[in-house]
Amino acid sequence: MRIHFICFVLLTSTAVLLSSCGEYDDSVTETNADSSSSTDDTTSSSTDTTLSAPSNLTATGSAGQVILDWTTLSGASSYTIFWDNSTGVSSSSDAITSVSTDNYTHSSLDNGTVYYYKVAGVASSGTLGTLASEVSAATPLPAPDNLSANGANNTIILTWASVSGATSYTLYWDNVSGIDSTDTTITSITNDNYTHSNMDNGSTYYYKVAAVNSSGTGTLSSVASALLSADIQGSQTYNSHTYAITSSAMTFAEAKAAAAALGGYLTTINTKAENTFLTSEFYGTYGNAIWIGANDIDTEDTWIWDNGTTSGDDNLTDTICNATSDDCTPSNATWADNTTRKWNSGEPNDSGSNEDCANITNANGFWNDLPCSQSLYGVIEFE
């Protein structure tokens, strides 16, 4: 009986041990499976890395826009631009998304303002990459309009239209044409005008002006010029030509000689706009009639200009006489609108058979012929 009991206990213990060994093997298998799965997840996560920052980001400002450019970033499916008008741009700043190229033109911006930018690549997963270093660019203030240079003896008075947002103006000037930002400057002008004094007579001076504010110096204006001489006054610029009035009233021949001595000629008027400008600037201010270059001194009814241009030689608006008959008494010449006449009603009429020189005779800009011996101020033109 004792032998049988021992065998039974031994057999029972062996079964329990084998059972335990089986359970242990299953546990090891599950643990290994879980470990393999965890390793796969870690590997997948490590391949989804953040894109580096785009390099060589630049910003170039011009009127109303900033052009951005950067080096193409490998792995980027698009780019996002962050921007502001103050420094310290971050991913919470205003954003321009889905930019598909390595450049962008930011338009419809305010002039006279500094803008700041950063750019980041975007991965195909939509993950935003590292932001580039901040860059900035200014949109310059616009050029002042209507720059005018009015020259008299040793002095030039400059005026221009004020620019919104400007805190001051800078004038650029020289006594040779071709003014740019490398020329001599007059800075910190707080008004929309300036008097340039103590200048040399006998020279032509050229000017451009630019508006200035905290963002920098704006776009330069168109050029204006004025000729200084003791023999002329009221120098003005129009359509890249300089005009002046003689310093006193004189005969047509004397005005013609004064113009030639200064390198100019009694004005040739080619357009209605030019005629309006001369009337506005010189008529009335310097007398109730002013000499222009038209005359028929050499041959009656054959009108020419002082600079040698023949009436209507280009079949354009320099036509002086357009009479239907051979005689130009009176003329029916009109400006390009084919409506507005050039001459006063019934003129030229060669009254007394000695009226051979033309003048602007009234505030409407109409012309008249007078004896060349009369004393009037003469309008001189310089190219």
The answer to the question of residue 125 being in a domain is: yes
Q: How much is the average pLDDT of 250-267?
A: 94
Same domain, 222 and 265: no
More confident residue, 355 or 229: 355
Same domain, 103 and 168: no
Rounded mean pLDDT of 310-333?
A: 67
330-336 long-range contacts (CB < 8 A, ≥24 apart) are 331/303, 335/271, 335/272, 335/275, 336/271, 336/272
Same domain flag for 283 and 162:
no
pLDDT score of 322? 74
Q: How confident is the model at residue 336 (pLDDT cuts 50, 70, 90)?
A: confident
The reply to whether 262 and 358 lie within a common domain is: yes
> Of the segments 22-31, 307-316, 350-359, which one has the largest average pLDDT value?
350-359
| pLDDT over threshold 80, residue 67 | yes
Mean pLDDT for the stretch of residues 340-358: 93
What is the pLDDT at residue 51?
A: 96
Do 243 and 317 sit in the same domain of this protein? yes
* Percent above pLDDT 70 for the chain: 84
> Alpha-carbon distance 164 to 211, whole Å?
9
Return the residue matching tokens 């040739």: 268
Q: Are residues 277 and 255 in the same domain?
A: yes
Query: What is the per-residue pLDDT across 121-173, written as a single tens digit (0 to 9) for each?
Result: 999 999 999 999 999 999 999 999 999 998 877 899 999 999 999 999 999 99
Longest dimension (CA), the chain: 174
Give a yes or no: residue 187 inside a domain.
Answer: yes
The answer to whether residue 187 scores a pLDDT higher than 50 is: yes
Give the pLDDT confidence score for residue 45 in this predicted structure: 41
Examine the pLDDT at 24 and tell me if it is beyond 90.
no
- The pLDDT value recorded for residue 52 is 97
One domain, residues 176 and 113: no
Residue ending a domain, among 212, 230, 248, is: 230
| Domain containing residue 79: CATH number | 2.60.40.10
| Exposure b/e, 85-119, CB count within 10 A at least 16 = b | eeeebeeebeeeeebeebebebeebebbbbbbbbb
Query: What is the spatial distance between Cα 174 and Cα 244, in angstroms, rounded to a whole number?
Result: 19
Is residue 53 in a domain?
no
Question: Which of 122, 139, 156 corresponds to the end of one domain?
Answer: 139
Same-domain status, 312 and 296: yes
Question: Which residues constitute the domain of residue 282?
Answer: 231-383
Is 35 part of any domain?
Answer: no
Residue 360 pLDDT > 70:
yes
Identify the domain boundary among 202, 230, 258: 230
Number of domains in the chain: 3
